[in-house]
Structure 1
Amino acid sequence: MPHSPPAIPPTPTFLSVSGVRTRHIALGDGPPLVLLHGIGQSLEDWDEVIAPLAERHRVYALDLIGFGLTDKPDVPYSLAGLARFVRHFLDAVGETRPATLIGNSLGGAVAQQFAVMYPERTARLILVNSAGFGAEVTPLLRLLTVPRLGEWLLRPHPLSSARVVRAIFHDPAFVTPERLQHAAQVAEQPDRSRAYLRVARHLGTWRGIRPDWRDTLIEQLAARQLPTLLIWGEHDQILPSHHLQAAQQAYPHARSHLFKNTGHLPQVERAGDFSALVLAFLEEHTPPQNNLQENSA
């Protein structure tokens, strides 16, 4: 079903998640969806699709601990820790129903880790240009894992943040002044580099993304046969699109879709088609309504 242009999402608010001041959006009614952004990013990566998805679902988008405008405490920042934070967030908003997790880039790895750690709270997975399916990653992320060099590269500078914004889109029309301004604001957050570097170094080295956590995660999750949708952009400069083939091999039961002429954020560059694709998948895999509990949030 065609969608009208997405409405402007509501202004994010803050709540305490286990003592961490956490920026988030909650919108809509229906089965819960949780939107998880990539490394160094924020919930703005979902702005174009929050309203369409919220027409049929209860949508939660958040800045993960250490990212965006959420607090950045001095903690280890492991993949398991990020997944645990998502669980604490859902507890804080009173959402106890099994949720569909939609994760982009790092958020895809967090979604998979969440599904392994909390199977009773996971209904489906939608993995969008997701980390976890190959060693190749943009050279910048590899360089960030090098001691001292990573700290130097993450010094706040408008040119640096603009370079990242340009890299995540195939169509330069999406590199808007508003996105550049927001990227610069995020880059200037206190302790931002600490969280960013700890995640990058936990997941990868200068050679690329570590194979140990990838192999373990896939092995643990593949046996569950969760309803899964794999989405990629053909011209992703961060995680190359041939990772989609590895994802299909890892989860042969999954549906998949490759967006042509699209970069690292299909949910932005192909917002209308992305929303329609996701809603159709969710409709196909939604249990009968009488099996769903009413949202108490």
Structure 2
Amino acid sequence: MTSPTIIEVAGRATRVRVDGDPTAPPLVLLHGLNRSLEDWSAVVVDLASDHRVISLDVPGFGFSDRRPEPASLTSFALGVLETLDQLGETRPVHLLGNSLGGAVALQIQATASERVASLALADSAGFGAQAALMLRLISVPGLGHLMTARTTPFSAKMSERAIHADPAVATPERIEHALAIAKRPGPGAVTREIMSSLATIRGVRAEWRRELFAAIAQHPRPTLVMWGAKDRVLPPAHLDAVPRLIPHARTHTFPEVGHMPQIERPTAFVEVVRGFLADEVPTSTTPKRTTRRSTSERAGS
């Protein structure tokens, strides 16, 4: 297991963590809105048993510097690709994205499909118009600034609790980490910019979703879409749109889980992702449209 480190990417400080055999197939982990690579801490070691796992703080989030242009899915995607170049990883990568990170993964496929081997998306943005009210409010000029200008211990605790079905997951350590990120200059501005580009007070904008799925349809890749059945950020009903938007994709639901299944059910999450990568990617040109429950879930984990 390695520790996160800061590297220079296009003149910017970028925080990355690289685990596993460098000759193994590359797997890139992309976190969500105003989050960091720590969201993958519970699963990264297991995933690195048979992959070169690269997790990073997306530009402008965590402890990575932002790109100079306004935050957008395209700027995030380019920042990830620049980071891979800096790490010398030019092979097609498997992308694993959670929440906004799922939309970034889709944008990478749309931008540079030749660099993508497969996509595994957990509670991903892009599959529907509905989103939590707090996210939609951030897109409102003025109000969004007030909401993101300052993070307090109470607001960090409430945010963590909203993300997970189990409130006990909002540990003091997670809250302290969120406060440390909030002390950095700029994360509020990046959050406001990306939310303004993706959503309104009414919901997630349809324009970018249509364009994105039209683009990825030109170069389909094996895809797995997962959801927590108790997600209060992006509703589980978004999973119903998958057969229409990505007809060849597999789907999977995690019972009794919120917006981040990799945190609440790490063992089951790893089993599902590794099963997808093992059975789907190397052998199938037309991925199956099936929904499977993991062994650990059938056992009640």
* Paired position in structure 2 for 1:263: 258
Tell me which stretches of 4 or more aligned residues in structure 1 moved more than 4 Å: none
Alpha-carbon deviations, 1:143-190, whole Å to 9, x = none? 111111111111221111111111110011211111111111112211
Contact 2:67 2:75 in 1 (8 A): no
From 128, 136, 141, the equivalent of 1:134 is 128
Query: Which one has more relative contact order, counting CA pairs under 8 Å at least 6 apart?
Result: 1
1:40 and 2:34 aligned = yes
* Paired position in structure 2 for 1:60: 54
Counterparts of 1:280 and 1:145, CA distance in 2: 38
Alpha-carbon deviations, 1:249-278, whole Å to 9, x = none? 211211110000000000111100110111
1:85 and 2:82 aligned = no
* Paired position in structure 2 for 1:152: 146
From 89, 99, 103, the equivalent of 2:93 is 99
- Shift of residue 230, structure 1, vs aligned partner: 0.6
* Paired position in structure 1 for 2:290: none
- Shift of residue 229, structure 1, vs aligned partner: 0.4
1:50 and 2:44 aligned = yes
Contact 2:118 2:281 in 1 (8 A): no
* Paired position in structure 2 for 1:293: none
Report the residue type matching 1:44 in the other structure: E
Counterparts of 2:135 and 2:115, CA distance in 1: 31
* Paired position in structure 2 for 1:12: 4
Counterparts of 1:286 and 1:232, CA distance in 2: 20
Q: TM-score, normalised by structure 1?
A: 0.92
1:27 and 2:22 aligned = no
Counterparts of 1:171 and 1:277, CA distance in 2: 21
- Unpaired stretches in structure 1, ≥5 consecutive residues: 1-8, 289-297
Give the percent of matched residue pairs that are identical in Structure 1 and Structure 2: 46
Contact 1:161 1:187 in 2 (8 A): no
Counterparts of 2:67 and 2:211, CA distance in 1: 28
Counterparts of 2:243 and 2:37, CA distance in 1: 27
Alpha-carbon deviations, 1:42-90, whole Å to 9, x = none? 1111111100000000000000000001113542111111111111010
* Paired position in structure 2 for 1:200: 195
Counterparts of 1:131 and 1:57, CA distance in 2: 25
Contact 1:79 1:113 in 2 (8 A): yes
Contact 1:128 1:231 in 2 (8 A): yes
Q: CA RMSD in A?
A: 1.2
Report the residue type matching 2:184 in the other structure: Q
- Shift of residue 200, structure 1, vs aligned partner: 0.8
- Shift of residue 248, structure 1, vs aligned partner: 2.8
Q: TM-score, normalised by structure 2?
A: 0.90
Counterparts of 1:115 and 1:42, CA distance in 2: 21
Report the residue type matching 1:277 in the other structure: V
Counterparts of 1:74 and 1:124, CA distance in 2: 29
Alpha-carbon deviations, 1:109-139, whole Å to 9, x = none? 0000100111110000001100001111111
**Secondary structure at the counterpart of residue 90 of structure 2:** coil
From 153, 161, 184, the equivalent of 2:156 is 161
Report the residue type matching 1:281 in the other structure: F
**Secondary structure at the counterpart of residue 146 of structure 1:** coil
Counterparts of 2:258 and 2:219, CA distance in 1: 30
* Paired position in structure 2 for 1:295: none
* Paired position in structure 2 for 1:231: 226
Report the residue type matching 1:219 in the other structure: A
Counterparts of 1:267 and 1:223, CA distance in 2: 30
Contact 1:35 1:102 in 2 (8 A): yes
* Paired position in structure 2 for 1:176: 171
- Unpaired stretches in structure 2, ≥5 consecutive residues: 284-301
- Shift of residue 223, structure 1, vs aligned partner: 3.8
* Paired position in structure 1 for 2:185: 190
**Secondary structure at the counterpart of residue 34 of structure 2:** coil
1:121 and 2:115 aligned = yes
Larger deviation, residues 51-60 vs 138-147: 138-147
Report the residue type matching 1:14 in the other structure: I
**Secondary structure at the counterpart of residue 108 of structure 1:** helix
- Shift of residue 19, structure 1, vs aligned partner: 1.0
Report the residue type matching 2:231 in the other structure: D
